[in-house]
Structure 1
Amino acid sequence: MISAYLRAGLAVLTACLLAPFAPLAAQEVVFSNVRVFDGTADTLSAPTTVVVRGNVIAAIGPDAAPASPEATVIDGTGQTLMPGLIDNHVHMMFNSLAPAEMAAPDMSLEKVMALSAAQSRAMLLRGFTAVRDVGGPSFQLKRLIDSGKVMGPRIWPSGPMISQTSGHADLRGPDEPSRRFSGKMSKAEEIWASVVADGRDEVLTAVRENLRLGASQIKIAAGGGTSSEYDPLDVTQYTLDEMKAAVDAASDWNTYVTVHAYHPKSVRRAIEAGVKVIEHGNLLDEDTLKLMAEKGIWLSGQMLVDSTEAMDPKRREKRKPVIEGQKIVWPMAKRLGVKLAWGTDFLFEPDLNAQQNAYILRLKPYFTPAELLKLVTSGNAELLALSGPRTPYEGRLGVVEQGALADLILVRGDPLADIDLIGDPARNFTVIMKDGVIVKSAAE
């Protein structure tokens, strides 16, 4: 399995060499006459200067100046400099595949890698400079991005989602028997789409394997899902002992477990087991949200559309309570003081990818423009930092401040006055910088 994974990386590397990209790198970049949204304030700064040196923000202020006359100077008059966007719930390896492609007999990790590399580039050019991948074999894609062979955001990888038999990430076909009975890995497990693990021992092995390969956090399925074949929405998955096994193994590596869960029973069991983050939570009640607020448990939420053309009728029907629930949970969780993060969760619907920025705007009924921008910058960055020493990148993200990593967007206009600006990155993001490197410039 490892050799197949490495071969996939080499295949993508070859494709990248045939179609290279050339980001604009400079020792120093000066943004002059910009107003700054720093990721935490409710207002913009007065016009000022921001100096980027290497991959960090070196100075901010009207008197800030480059150390070298060779610096690249960008006049930001009338524009806003803000932190790069962060999507807290992505599936980098599977957001470019339709269900039929995933199930095709000729599907391979090499094909998944090639499609994902193209999508990662498009994601960065939408202004998303960092993402948390919560299910899929994104390790090699991350290495290619980090080495500069592929354009894309910083990735906090979870590795394959870990699921019980018949759970949310049991992606076997109807004719594929259990590995425990047949001795054969399923097709989904062969390409590391997911891992099926039952009992404390198998869960420990699955978690430790993901950590061995570079996971910054662990994702397990704790309840039913809308895109999965075998599990009704109301079911609870993994016993308390199994869930504690995942938490024990992750905490031994000084990181955390996040769980896919919608309803109170599965969430309460996860909290008892020591889980720190809940993905979705659309069916939670007020008492459970209060418990999360009291214990400092994060709610990583989305704001999904009712249906898309790619969905089959069964999935549309299955997700109806989830869609209705999200309209209740977001405002209630905010009111109760739950720690909130945001992500898109596009999976097997590649046509949705171009709408990534627009999905932020779906939260406009519940948040002010300043709250929304904080949510998708400093707020999501705070969640990324839960990985502790397993965080793959040194430095602070989600803010524009001296010493922070230089992941920045120059926005045409004032997004606090017109939040819709961030919904059209092609038109309104004139400069995108990741790690001190300009990957998009209006001057190009």
Structure 2
Amino acid sequence: MPALPSFATFYPLNHHHSQGACQCGSPILSQFHERMMADISRRQFIGGAAGVMAMFAGLRAPRVLSQQPSDHNRPILLKNLRLFDGSGGPLREGVAIRIEDGRIQALLANGADSGNAEVVDCGGRVVMPGLIDAHWHTTLAGISQFEAMTADPGYVHLVAAKEAERTLMRGVTSVRDVGGPSFALKRAIDQGIVNGPRVFPAGAMISQTSGHGDFRMRHEVPRSADSPLSEQEKQGVAVIADGEAEVLRRTREQLMLGASQIKLMAGGGVASTYDPLDSTQFTERELRAAVDAAEDWGTYVAVHVYTPRGIQRSLRAGVKSIEHGQLADKESVRMMAGEGAWWSLQPFLQDEDSNVYPDAERQESQRMVAEGTVRAYEMAQHFDVKTAWGTDILFSPRNTQNQLRHLAKLTRFYDSLTTLAMATGRNGELLAMSGLRSTYQGKLGIIEPDALADLLVVDGSPEQGLDFLNDPKANLRLIMKGGRVYKNTL
């Protein structure tokens, strides 16, 4: 029987947190992945490689739902518009945007000669960069926990592909995937097999034993030196690494697979099975091993962490992106600013988008994180920390459609143009930290010459508020990624 391709090649599972609290420690993923691997083994036994490949036979490029440019080889000229360029500055008028070969060729005067370009009249609407979600989970965001446990694995993948298209149709043209093997879905999107956003994958999240990415069941402990890897590790959802040598190996493996950045778990979470919220994970030397390996490849390490102790340890080790961090104190935030690190915050506000927990312990942890969220945004501004916007949605098909609401609610802390700049130009700067490990060479989140042509035409006035984002279907009139139009209702 011929050897099968790596399961991660086809199965872009992505496990991590969801809005309101992290669910990484939930035992549900362990059961889910064990069931899927059993199904894969059964298909291989019955039909060999063809039996496994048949699971993915239905994953074809969905028909583009909207009008396409009549000639893909022609330049496009957007005119009669108001421009938000992603910098956070005031909107500009009297400017036209010429797009050619997937990039912004030039910003011209509104009456400039269109030449051979196809002219798109924006009707005085706002043109802005495509949105960037800096903390997204590509595969499991749009499926419920029950379906993840019971549905055929092929169905899970089809849901992920469809959710990727919906993500793009919400105007999110780039995502930073911070845990789980999204490599296959990224490849399918980049090759035009399915429609979706640009994906910056981290690959398997790296966890210590008993850490936030240790999804083993109790009966799998203890683990000896010659014990097999858990199913989750084999599939690339997460990997366990104890000691500098193991951290180096697991980091290098993700870089080999194509990671844009590396993700480690440096602390506990709200929904964890084993690790409490206040726990600190990985020694400074272990963290430094991952940082050194990532820096050798021209990229950086991001860590899941909430507490001051974990944040400060990570920063001393050279980590460049703090994911969550809602329990930070002033010293931790001052240190973030001093080190030039990014604070990848999510609006965990214990509101209509939050998870619901039945037990008092997790409810209390969730309350602490929600209160910390308010303080975190205040301190981020006070200490001028580079702050990213992300949503961290998992196992919530009802919530993915509200992805942009998670941005609009930030106007509680920032003026609307600053908020919009966070999800465009600022997040674009964070993505650029991947350097040559990114397969998308060009600026994102900004509208300027030679930037990648990811653009939205919207019905709304961003300088007055971002409520128009709550209904992207109605208010996003044109969606473009790489110069290709995916929606046009102008």
TM bucket (normalised to shorter chain) is over 0.9
2:243 corresponds to which letter in structure 1? G
In structure 2, do the counterparts of structure 1 residues 82 and 93 end up closer, same or farther at CA, with 3 Å as the change threshold? same
Separation in 2, partners of 1:383, 1:304: 21
Give the secondary-structure state (helix, strand or coil) at the position aligned to 2:295. helix
Q: Which amino acid aligns with 2:135?
A: H
Stretch deviating more after TM superposition (347-356 or 311-320): 311-320
Structure 1 position 256, deviation (Å): 0.4
Aligned CA distance change for structure 1 residues 351 and 305 (closer, same or farther; 3 Å): farther
Q: Could you tell me how far 1:393 is from its partner in structure 2?
A: 0.5
Question: What SS does the corresponding residue of 1:66 show, helix, strand or coil?
Answer: coil
Summarize the alignment of residues 75-154 of structure 1 with structure 2, pairs less than 5 Å apart.
75-104=121-150, 108=153, 110-154=154-198
User: Any conservation in 1 of the 2:8–2:236 contact (CA below 8 Å)?
Assistant: no
**Structure 1, residues 337-362: CA drift from partner, whole Å, max 9, x if none?**
11111100012223211110000012
Q: Does 2:309 align with 1:272?
A: no
Pick closer, same or farther for the CA change 1:313–1:428 going to 2, 3 Å.
same
Q: How far is the alpha carbon of 1:233 from its aligned partner?
A: 0.4
Counterpart of 1:210? 254
What secondary structure does 2:89 align onto? coil
How far 1:28 moved relative to its partner? 1.8
- TM superposition shift of 1:310: 5.6
Is 1:355 the equivalent of 2:355?
Answer: no
Per the alignment, do residues 257 and 11 of structure 1 end up closer, same or farther by CA in structure 2, a change over 3 Å counting? farther
What is the TM-score of this pair, normalised by structure 1?
A: 0.93
**Structure 2: how far apart are the matches of 1:294 and 1:422?**
34
**Partner of 1:73 in structure 2?**
119
Give the corresponding residue for 2:339: 295
Stretch of structure 1 that moved more, 177-186 or 71-80? 177-186
Q: Name the Cα RMSD after superposition.
A: 2.1
The answer to whether structure 1 residue 6 and structure 2 residue 36 are counterparts is no
Runs (5+) with no aligned partner, structure 2: 13-52
Q: CA deviation at 1:2?
A: 4.8
Instruction: Name the structure 1 match of 2:382.
Output: 335
Query: Does 2:373 correspond to 1:326?
Result: yes
Q: Which residue of 2 aligns with 1:312?
A: 357
Q: Is the contact made by 1:132 and 1:157 (CA closer than 8 Å) also made in structure 2?
A: yes
Query: Which residue identity lines up with residue 279 of structure 1 in the other structure?
Result: E
Alignment partner of 1:364: what SS?
helix
Equivalent position amino acid for 2:196 in 1 = G
Residue type of the alignment partner of 1:15: G
Q: Contact conserved, 2:8 with 2:183, CA < 8 A, in 1? A: no
For 1:442 and 1:313, the matched residues in 2 are separated by 44
Measured at CA, do residues 362 and 12 of structure 1 come closer, stay the same or move farther in structure 2, by a change above 3 Å? farther
How far 1:292 moved relative to its partner?
1.0
| Structure 1 equivalent of residue 36 of structure 2 | none
**CA distance, structure 2, for counterparts of residue 47 and residue 41 of structure 1:** 18
Q: Which amino acid aligns with 2:103?
A: V
Counterpart residue identity of residue 166, structure 1: S
Contact 1:224 1:232 in 2 (8 A): yes
SS of the residue 2:219 aligns to: coil
Q: Does 1:231 align with 2:266?
A: no
> Could you give the per-residue CA deviations for residues 101-135 of structure 1, whole angstroms, max 9, x where no partner exists?
4455x774x44432211111000000000010000
With 273-282 and 51-60 compared, the bigger mean Cα shift is at 51-60
2: distance between equivalents of 1:312 and 1:191?
A: 28
Amino acid at match of 2:318: G
State whether residues 33 and 76 of structure 1, in contact with CA within 8 Å, keep that contact through their aligned partners in structure 2.
yes
Aligned equivalents of 1:99 and 1:16: distance in 2?
22
Which one-letter code corresponds to 1:66 in the other structure?
S
Residue 208 of structure 2 is aligned with which of 164, 182, 185?
164
| Shift of residue 176, structure 1, vs aligned partner | 3.2
For the pair 1:195 / 2:239, whether they are aligned, the reply is yes
Counterparts in 2 of 1:191 and 1:65: CA distance versus 1, 3 Å: farther
Q: Which 10-residue stretch deviates more, 258-267 or 394-403?
A: 394-403
- The aligned counterpart of 1:220 is 264
Change (3 A) 1:429 1:11: farther
Contact persistence 1:217–1:387 (CA under 8 A)? yes
- Of residues 8-17 and 429-438 in structure 1, the stretch that sits farther from structure 2 once superposed is 8-17
2:438 counterpart (391, 397, 413): 391
Partner of 1:36: 83
TM-score when normalising by structure 2: 0.85
In the TM superposition, what whole-angstrom CA distance separates every residue of 1:169-188 from its partner, at most 9, and x where no partner exists?
11223333355467233232
Letter matched to residue 114 of structure 2: P
Give the Å deviation of 1:197. Answer: 1.3
Superposed CA deviations along residues 265-300 of structure 1, whole A, max 9, x for unmatched, are 001110111111100110001111111111111100
What secondary structure sits across from 2:315 in the alignment? helix
State how far apart, in whole Å, the 2-side matches of 1:74 and 1:316 are: 51
Q: Which moved more, 1:316-325 or 1:255-264?
A: 316-325
Output the CA distance in 1 between the equivalents of 2:225 and 2:271.
Answer: 25
Which segment is superposed worse, 222-231 or 132-141? 222-231
Deviations 1:307-328 (A, max 9, x none): 6686432443432211110011
Letter in 2 for 1:153: P
Q: Note the C-alpha offset of 1:305.
A: 4.1
Q: Distance in 2 between matches of 1:231 and 1:107?
A: 30
1:331 Cα offset (Å): 1.2
Amino acid at match of 1:45: R
Gaps (5+ residues) in structure 1? none
Q: Deviations over 1:1-40 (max 9, x none)?
A: 8532335486686324374436625332221101100111
Aligned mates of 1:171, 1:16 — CA distance in 2 = 28
The one of 85, 88, 103 equivalent to 1:56 is 103
- State how far apart, in whole Å, the 2-side matches of 1:319 and 1:184 are: 35
| Structure 1 residues 338 and 346: alpha-carbon distance in aligned structure 2, compared to 1, 3 A threshold | same
Letter paired with 1:175: H
| Shift in CA distance, 94/384, structure 1 to aligned 2, threshold 3 Å | same
